[in-house]
Amino acid sequence: MYIPPYEQIVIPLINRFFDISNFSAITWVIFTTSMPKNGYLHEKVAEEAARLIHSGAFRPGDKLPSVRKLCQNYGVSLTTAVRAYLELENIGLIEGRPKSGFYVRAQVQRRFKETLTARPLSTPVTLDQVRERMVTGEGDADMISFGPGCPNPDILPVAKLGRLLGRVAREAGSAGVTCTLPPGSEMLRRQISKRSPEFGCTLSPDEISVTSGCLEAIRIALQTTTSSGAVIAIESPTNYGFVQLLSSLGLRAYEVPSNSVTGIDLDALEAARKNCGISCLLITSNFSNPLGTMLSDPQKKRIAEMAAAWKMPVIEDDVYGDLYFGERRPKTIKSFDSGGWVILCSSFSKTLAPGYRVGWAAPGRFLEGFKRLQFAGSIAPPTPTQLAMAEFLRSGGYEHFLRGVRQMYHRSVVKMREAVIESFPKSTRPSQPQGGFLLWVELDRQIDTIHLYQQAVQAKISLAPGPLFSAHGNYTNCVRLNCALTWSLRVEKAIQYIGELVGKTSSEC
């Protein structure tokens, strides 16, 4: 690789990254005469820096150590360190910013076909391995992630929430670093109470308990209402987080058939209650994961009536309820609950800030037991995030944000569905959700979606295979796709690529 003479390197570099007035004549002489007579040393330093970048220690946009820090780390001269960074800049791995330093370059110049070049399949993965990867992440910033059921971080109001978090932490003083014991921040509970008529309930602040996310609310609700070995009715397919949660608590899952149009089969639920000793129902009433189903009001009312008649707790997950595509927010099962048998659970993790871990529950008749178990398990959720969320709700920022994000997710779901219909075999049957950002896709019966997952991951595409959403590993020919990603040519090409894999597998069978 050609490196120009030092005077063609040093002078422009000094002007770009240093204040030349700080360089004395002596410093200048030392700097310019320290140029090594061969290029081997700076190449070795460049290789070490590149290795850190490729390993993920430094990611796109991260600032690299200063030139002087590089000198200290590797025991080289200032000029050698500069030449090392210049070499990395020349090959497009990093970029220099005037008066700021060097940063890892965003890899936007990578060709898409390189991203989708599939390598030979490694050892077949197991369902447990896939499940673990879904929970922990694929660990690759270049992965096109249709698998995890997370909102799009690029559209979240990160800056505004950050400013609110800083402000409320300063204003709260010592109160911001003390625990807000169950039922949690009164300010936040008041804001949730004010919103409760929108989903068909009139909840007072005293009926609400703040939790560390919706899944914690569901876990505490299960522990409050059941004991080890109990049989819990769940939709089938269901949220794979529910499958893992029930297993960890020593509870047995009874899968009640559901479909993407009408949702859970209530006649089958009624029969299971009579014949299988169902202790509790765990259900997502609005835009279920993974089907995207919204139960009708008559169905919700019937479930509430069943709970009252059977004296059976119903744990209702409504975490997607705010992401409706229609004109108004759908009601909850809780809105038809007259005896306190429905425990309504939700959070802001799917809409606003997954990392803040702010959820809540309205446990009805189980409130006191719920609070005791919450204290015994986690004591309390973080105070600063509760206060920031309360202020975001109070200021009207949440409703304003929701109006835009609902439209965005609606467009993304429609585009994803259209792309699947166009790119996959004609026998493919995608769901048609009325809210949320998840799409369930049923493929030909001979398709093994665990194998499809592994093929896709080889091309840096993640998807969620159907067996994850069943306690018994059913739905081997189905996949769930996350539509929350910002629609782009890269996303569209990835869907086309999955469709090609499915078509090739179908033709070989």
H, E, C per residue of 412-474: HHHHHHHHHHHHCCCCCEECCCCECCEEEEECCCCCCHHHHHHHHHHCCEECEEHHHHCCCCC
In terms of domains, do 489 and 473 share one? yes
Instruction: Give the residue ranges of the chain where pLDDT is below 50.
Output: 1-12, 14-39, 108-121
Domain carrying residue 504: 112-155+400-508
Strands 278-284, 231-236: parallel, antiparallel or unpaired by DSSP?
parallel
- pLDDT at position 74, please? 86
CATH number for the domain that contains residue 142:
3.90.1150.10
In terms of domains, do 150 and 182 share one? no
| Domain assignment present for 59 | yes
In terms of domains, do 61 and 177 share one? no
| Domain assignment present for 162 | no
The one-character DSSP state at 57 is S
308 contacts: CB under 8 Å, gap ≥ 6 = 337, 338, 339, 341
CATH number for the domain that contains residue 30:
1.10.10.10
| Domain assignment present for 163 | no
Q: What tokens were used for 237?
A: 């397919």
Last residue of a domain, one of 365, 397, 429: 397
The one-character DSSP state at 381 is -
| Domain assignment present for 345 | yes
Last residue of a domain, one of 397, 418, 449: 397
Measured CA to CA, the distance from residue 414 to residue 401 in angstroms comes to 20
Q: What is the largest CA-CA distance in the chain?
A: 92
In terms of domains, do 148 and 60 share one? no
Backbone angles phi, psi at 508, to 5 degrees: -80, -20
Q: What tokens were used for 365?
A: 């008749």
In terms of domains, do 148 and 61 share one? no
Measured CA to CA, the distance from residue 282 to residue 389 in angstroms comes to 27
- pLDDT at position 120, please? 42
Last residue of a domain, one of 63, 80, 104: 104
436 contacts: CB under 8 Å, gap ≥ 6 = 287, 289, 292, 320, 323, 350, 409, 413
Measured CA to CA, the distance from residue 210 to residue 217 in angstroms comes to 8
In terms of domains, do 70 and 138 share one? no
> Domain count of the chain?
3
In terms of domains, do 215 and 264 share one? yes
CATH number for the domain that contains residue 204:
3.40.640.10
Q: What tokens were used for 418?
A: 């259209």
| Domain assignment present for 315 | yes
Reported as half-sphere exposure (CB side, CA atoms, 13 A), residue 254 has a value of 20
229 contacts: CB under 8 Å, gap ≥ 6 = 250, 251, 252
In terms of domains, do 385 and 345 share one? yes
| Domain assignment present for 479 | yes
Measured CA to CA, the distance from residue 319 to residue 301 in angstroms comes to 19
- pLDDT at position 278, please? 94
Q: Is 116 helix (H, G, I), strand (E, B) or coil?
A: coil
- pLDDT at position 126, please? 81
The one-character DSSP state at 294 is B
In terms of domains, do 144 and 192 share one? no
The one-character DSSP state at 40 is H
How far apart, in Å, are the Cα atoms of 48 and each of 35, 41, 56, 104, 499?
20, 11, 13, 14, 40
- pLDDT at position 490, please? 92
**The residue type at 17:** F
Measured CA to CA, the distance from residue 290 to residue 149 in angstroms comes to 9
- pLDDT at position 231, please? 96
Strands 461-462, 144-145: parallel, antiparallel or unpaired by DSSP?
parallel
- pLDDT at position 137, please? 58
CB-based burial, 441-456: b 16+ in 10 Å, e otherwise: bbbbeebbbbbbbbbb
Measured CA to CA, the distance from residue 144 to residue 372 in angstroms comes to 42
H-helix segments, 252-381: 266-276, 297-310, 367-378
